[in-house]
């Protein structure tokens, strides 16, 4: 059995309004950090999974991402990275 | 002025319990996707910022991350990537 670490992000599709991001933009302006800032907020996952091969691990992660982590109607998920770990 | 895209994640420090991650683990088991899975959940940000240089953009992003995006007592933030965009 191998042990694999996947880093995954989910975010709202570009055409969908992101109220959480707008809050960060407003506070950033109020704190005078930046006036010209655009923020989109999503979720971030670090998943360690045991599998007999990297291919099997990828298949499992795809199921997790599509069935549990994201709502395909409004969100996109991205596998940011993956690696075998000890 | 340059336009810069930063991708940032925040997550709970390792020693802090992550109930959201445990929910994903439970559902993954219930759906028979994987019995041996460990999940940590955080937030993910894509931030576009205008600045006169990459160094200035990095300084602004550091302020946003430390003051708005994360609670340094319980969370860690990571700049996953940055690039100049058009």
- Given B39, B47, B68, which is nearest A47 (Cβ)? B39
Q: Rounded to an integer, what distance in angstroms lies between the CA atom of residue B45 and that of residue B73?
A: 20
Q: For chain A, where are the E strands, in sequence order?
A: 2-12, 37-51, 75-85
pLDDT in tens, B5-17: 999 999 999 999 9
CATH number at residue B33: 3.30.1280.10
- Given B40, B64, B69, which is nearest A46 (Cβ)? B40
The number of domains in chain A is: 1
B80 close contact with A: CB closer than 8 A: yes
pLDDT in tens, B31-70: 999 999 999 999 999 999 999 999 999 999 999 999 999 9
Please tell me the predicted confidence (pLDDT) of residue A58. 97
Contact criterion met (CB below 8 Å) for A75 and A13: yes
User: Which value does ipTM take for this structure?
Assistant: 0.93
Containing domain of residue B41, as a range?
A: 2-85
**Closest chain A C-alpha to B52 CA, distance in angstroms:** 12
């Amino acid at each position: 059995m191998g042990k694999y670490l996947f880093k995954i992000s989910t975010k709202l599709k570009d055409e969908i309004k992101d109220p959480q991001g707008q809050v960060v933009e407003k506070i950033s302006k109020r704190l005078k950090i930046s006036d010209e800032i655009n923020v989109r907020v999503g979720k971030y996952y670090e998943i360690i999974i045991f599998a007999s091969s990297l291919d099997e691990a990828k298949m499992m992660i795809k199921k997790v991402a599509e069935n549990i982590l994201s709502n395909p109607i409004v969100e996109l998920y991205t596998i940011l990275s993956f690696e075998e770990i000890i």
